[in-house]
Amino acid sequence: MHDFSVNKRLWDQTDELGLANRRRLEEARIYCINVMSAPGAGKTTLLERTLERIAPGPRFGVIEGDIQGRADADRLERFGIPVRQINTNGACHLDPRQVAAALDTMDLGSIDLLVIENVGNLVCPAEFDLGEADRVMLLSVTEGHDKPAKYPLMFRTADVLILNKIDLLPHTDFDLAEASRVARVLREGIEILEVSCRTGEGLDGWIAWLEHRLAHAKEHWDGMPHDHAPGQSHNHDHGPDHSHGPSHRHDPGPSHDASPGRAPNHRPTGGPASGA
């Protein structure tokens, strides 16, 4: 017989680890994004284009999640930034314990912007809070515009949706308007960026989004009162789980939503074992 109470206890522990990672990152003043998509949608390519184009300033760090191998880590290490490869050895997602172990090996004082590239998978990664401030979701136009409707969790928990490979639109029947419509039903007000990592179209908008979120995080940290240490939860008009990262939107910014949005510990029905 399946023991649901054991599953729940394991989940609670996983949630706490994600929260602990978030506090640790906030304490180190690191803005962290969790980049998720189906395999091959262009996560690593987007990071390469970003590192090539972004104005000097933010010091990057990367945690690469893959089932096996370090091909993506090798691609990013040529930018001279700290990269840690996590091999999940079969698991289809990263979990917060693995991220915490990777953080243990990094010099957090030398990173402003940490990118976690999750394992390519449209389902499982969305179930695990790694401690990120924002979730970046990629959907490439070769995957079909029905994917938001068929895999809603990933889209519901995303903070920004990048529709990638728009250079290939003429060769597909992908309906940008329909994909965007459903994504907005799932996540009201979500920012949607149409991008080609091949031609560079739309990349300026993505980089502007990233810089805006990083600046917002910094502003927030700078304005934090001194009566509670960075990253510590505290109480005023929100719950004890509230943390002061950029995922908390006192100021939604020009085009970002202020919805209660993705609870850090958001998960669907069905256990972490589903698909894992």
Ligand X SMILES: Nc1nc2c(ncn2[C@@H]2O[C@H](COP(=O)(O)OP(=O)(O)OP(=O)(O)O)[C@@H](O)[C@H]2O)c(=O)[nH]1
Phi-psi category of 222—alpha, beta or left, where left has phi over 0 and alpha has psi -120 to 50? Answer: alpha
CA-based nearest residue to 39, from 111, 142, 127: 142
23, 43, 84, 187: which one contacts ligand X (CB under 6 A)?
A: 43
- Residue 164 lies near ligand X (rule: CB under 6 A): yes
Helices and strands of the chain, counted as H and E runs: 8, 7
Minimal distance in Å, beta carbon 39 to ligand X? 4
For residue 45, the partner it binds in ligand X, Mg ion, none, with Cβ less than 5 to 8 A by kind, is ligand X
Of 39, 69, 252, 270, the one binding ligand X (CB under 6 A) is 39
Q: How many residues does the chain have?
A: 276
Q: Are strands 83-87 and 60-66 parallel, antiparallel or unpaired?
A: parallel
Which residue stretch of 72-80, 82-90, 139-147, 149-157 sits at the interface with Mg ion (rule: CB under 5 A)? Answer: 72-80
| Sheet strands side by side (includes 60-66) | 83-87, 60-66, 113-117, 31-36, 134-140, 160-164, 191-194
3-state secondary structure of 143: helix
Nearer to ligand X, 40 or 271 (CB): 40
Q: What is the per-residue binding string for ligand X in 91-130, x denoting contact by CB under 6 A?
A: -----------------------------x----------
Q: How far is the CB of 159 from ligand X (least distance, A)?
A: 18
Build a one-symbol-per-residue string for 17-56: x at contacts with Mg ion by CB under 5 A, - elsewhere: --------------------------xx------------
First to last CA, the chain: 19
How many whole angstroms separate alpha carbon 80 and alpha carbon 96? Answer: 25
- The least CB distance from residue 257 to ligand X, in Å, is 25
Give me the residues that bind ligand X (CB under 6 A), please.
Answer: 37, 39-45, 72, 120, 164-165, 167-168, 196-198
Give me the residues that bind Mg ion (CB under 5 A), please.
Answer: 43-44, 72
